[in-house]
Amino acid sequence: MSFECIAPGVDEIAQFGETPLDLVERLARAKASAVSAQQPNAWVIGSDQIAALDGGQAPLGKPGTEARCHEQLRSCSGRTVEFVTAVAVMRRENNALIEFTDITRVTFRVLDELTIERYVVKEQPLDCAGGFKSEGLGISLCESIDSADPSALIGLPLIRLSAALRAAGFNVP
């Protein structure tokens, strides 16, 4: 399938009282809608992901700096983090919308300061939710990963997305 990546230009700031789950679902839909307004006859995929502690209630976000990344990883040490990913597949022309949400639970091993330092220096995960990249060295920080779709952890649940695209009429192998 041919495709084009288009930046949706959506403000990702959480609204007052919005839970992490509500936030990612709203943003996935808003991103798909923004691009769909430009491409009304195209199927558009919008997605968003957030990492959260405390049963999905305390969002971590993207650290942006090494100091913040260290802080986030310290907070994850020995705990379970929920990576919540929402996807909206939309076609404005016929008002079609397929939505789903994936929650992947990552239990981190206990992390000491030297481990965190080595990881941040080598991986530079400053633009990743929770300061963690499972597709790289971050996997060594894990004790376990509980997920119905392992691809969701890297940002897009491809198993569920494939099913959504088939439901939209695409021949996905």
**Contact 85/112 with Cβ under 8 angstroms?**
no
The rounded mean pLDDT for the chain is 93
CB atoms within 10 A of CB 143: 12
80 exposed, middle or buried (CB, 10 Å; 0-12, 13-18, 19+)?
Answer: middle
**Contact 125/138 with Cβ under 8 angstroms?**
yes
The type of residue at 33 is S
Interval 96-118: pLDDT, tens:
999 999 999 999 999 999 999 99
Q: Domain residues of the chain, as ranges?
A: 20-162
pLDDT attached to residue 4: 87
Two tokens, residue 90? 């939309």
Cα→Cα distances 24→36, 84, 89, 130, Å: 18, 7, 14, 15
Interval 29-76: pLDDT, tens:
999 999 999 999 999 999 999 999 977 678 888 899 999 999 999 999
pLDDT attached to residue 123: 95
pLDDT attached to residue 116: 97
Q: Classify domain 20-162 by CATH number.
A: 3.90.950.10
CB atoms within 10 A of CB 1: 7
pLDDT band at 88 (very low <50, low <70, confident <90, very high): very high
Residue 48 annotated to the active site: yes
pLDDT attached to residue 163: 96
Residue 125 pLDDT exceeds 80: yes
Active-site residue, from 11, 22, 48, 127? 48
Widest pairwise Cα distance in the chain = 54
Distance CA 17, CA 46 (A): 23
The type of residue at 145 is I
